[in-house]
A and B are shown apart, each in its own frame.
Chain A
Amino acid sequence: MAEPRVIIVGAGPAGVRAAEVLVASGVRPVVIDEGRRDGGQIYRRQPEGFTRGYDSLYGTEADRALSLHETFDGLKDKIDYRPDTLVWNISQGRVWTNANGRVDDLEYDALLLCTGATDRVMPVKGWQYAGVFSLGASQVALKSQAVSIGRRVVFMGSGPLLYLVASQYVKAGANVVAVLDTAPFFARIKALPKLLAEPGVLWNGIMLTRMLQKSGVRLMTGVKPREILGDPETGVSSLQFEAGGKIHEIACDAVAMGHHLRPETQLADLARCAFRFDSVTRQWLPVVDADGRSSVDGVYLAGDGARILGARSAEASGQLAAMTLLSDMGVAASDRWALRQAVANYARFATGLAEAFPWPHEQIADLADDVVLCRCEGVTVGEMRRVDASEANRAKAFNRVGMGRCQGRYCGLAGAEVLAAARDLPIEAIGRLRGQAPVKPISVGVAEDEA
C-alpha cells in the first residue's frame, strides 16, 4: 500500500506525541497548527528572543515541557509542519486551510484531531467591560508576553486552573487581590476519593493553594458573583459578590474569569462525528472509543479536544490514537493496554475535578434579565428567556446567540443553561450549537472564493 496520508490538526501535547508515534513507524504526517509555534496551550512557547527559563514558565511541569519541545524540534524534518495555518473546514474528505490568506485543501486517508480547549465562562453582569478577560487569557498574557492583565487582578470562577494561574501571577510579581471560587469547599472533600486517582497532581494543587494563602491573597469559596462594576470608557473598577451571607466589594482593574474548560469540537462536528451528552460536565462531547476512534471511519480524536482530561492525558491519548490509526491502516500493530489504562485513570481524576469544582448552572439559571449573555453582540439573558424557541440552533436563528464573532464559544453553554431553566427542560433537551465553516472568521475573499 502507498504511504497513508495522515493529517494531524494541533501541535499541543496530544498532536506532538501522535506525530512522534507515526514518524517512528515511517509515516510522514502533515501537522497543522494555527499557532506560530508548537506546544499548544499548557506548553505554549514564548516568542523567540524571550529569555525566561523553563522553571519560571512551566513550574512543576518544566521537564515535561522541555521533553515535548525537544521531541517536536527533532521531528520537524520528518513531518510536513504547517504553523500559522488555520483549518477552517473539513468536507469531502479534505481539510481546508488558510495561511495568511492563502487557501489550500488537502486530502487524507486518516485525520487526527487534537484541537484542545478554550475557557468555559459564566456571564456576570458587567463582563463586557474592558479589563475582563478569560482565565486562559490571563495565563497567555503572562506565559507568552510576560505581562499581567492589570495592576489589581481578581481571579473568579472555579477549577484547578483558577488557583494555578493565580499562583503563577503571584510568583511572577503581579498583584493578585483575590481568588474567588463559586464552588463550596465541601465539594472538594466529597470528591477526594476520585482525586486520589492522581495523587501527584492533587498534591501540586494543595501546595498551590497553600502558597496563595501564605502570600496573603484573599481566597474565598462558595462565592456568588453579583456585578463587575466599571465605566464604559476606562473599564473595570470593582467586583461585587456574595459569600457567607454577606455582600462584598473588591476594587480591581482586571478580572480573569473561567470555569474550567470546554473542548474545541467544531472540526469534529464538520467531519460529521457523532456527539453524546456528558452529564458530569453538562457538555456535548464527540463520541470516542477507548482507543481514540471517533464514530467516523478514519477520523480519530485525542487530547482536550475530545474530552477535558488535562495535559498528561493529552500526551497518552495522542500516542494511543496514533497507534490505533496505524493498526487500523495495517501499518503497525502495538500493545495499547497500558495507555488505555492511563487514560481511564485520568478520566477518573477528571470526574473528581468536575465534582470538586462544578459548573454553577444554578447561578446561571438565576442571572438577572439585564445581564449580557452574548458579549459579541450585546444580547441579554432576558432576550434568551423570551426567545420563541426551545432548541439551541433555533434560538440562535432568532436572537443570534452563537452567531457573533466568537461563534458561540463563550456564550453557547451559558445560553443553553438559561434556556433550559426558563423552559423547565433538562439541559440535554436544548441540544448543542452546531459547528459551522469557517470555524473562525477568515480574511474576506477566502471563504467566498472557495464556497
Chain B
Amino acid sequence: MNGRFTRLAETDRPTVNIIVDGQPVQAMVGDTLMVAMLSSGASLRSAEFGPEKRAGFCLMGACQDCWVWTADGGRLRACSTPVENGQQISTSQPEVTWPNHG
C-alpha cells in the first residue's frame, strides 16, 4: 500500500527529507514524524508482544504506541516530534547500550 495517511490540505509547504531505515522519505515542514512516516508508509514499528505492525493509536502523547528511534538509539515519540530535515530514523530499537549516567 502507499501511505496510510492522506493529505487533505496545507500541501504547499516546503519539503524536507528524512531517512527511515536507510530509505529516503519526503515530508513537509510542520509535519510530525508520524505524519511524515505514515504519509508514505503503512506502519511505524513492530509490536513487541504480537506479530503485527503498529502505526500509533492516540496521536496525543498518551499511549506511547508510536516510539521510533534515532540512529544513536534515542527514543522519539513520533506523534509529538516535529520532523527535521536530514533526520535518520530507525523503526526498530538499535542495538545500542545506554550510556550509564552519573
Contacts and interface: CB of A to CB of B under 8 A. Distances in A.
Chains A and B are bound partners: yes
Interface of A: 34, 36, 41, 46-52, 56, 118-119, 128-134, 136-137, 140-142, 145-151, 172-174, 230, 232-235, 253-254, 264, 372, 375-378, 405-406, 409-410, 440-441, 443-445, 448-449
Contacts of B43: 130, 235
Contact of B8 (A132, A136, A146, A234): A146
A243 to B, nearest CB: 25
Interface SS majority for chain B: loop
Given A36-B82, A233-B53, 20 more contacts: A36-B80, A49-B29, A128-B52, A128-B54, A133-B57, A136-B60, A141-B5, A145-B30, A147-B6, A150-B6, A232-B52, A233-B52, A234-B42, A375-B63, A376-B63, A377-B48, A406-B62, A409-B63, A410-B63, A440-B64
A49 B5 contact: no
Contacts of A48: 30
B9 A140 contact: no
A193 B55 CA distance: 42
A146 B7 contact: yes
A391 B69 CA distance: 36
Nearest to A374: B49
Contact of B9 (A172, A372, A377): A172
B52 A149 contact: no
Contacts of B62: 118, 264, 406, 409-410, 440
Nearest to A174: B8
Interface of B: 1, 4-11, 13, 29-32, 35, 39, 42-43, 47-65, 67, 75, 79-80, 82, 98, 101-102
A137 B60 CA distance: 7
B65 A405 contact: yes
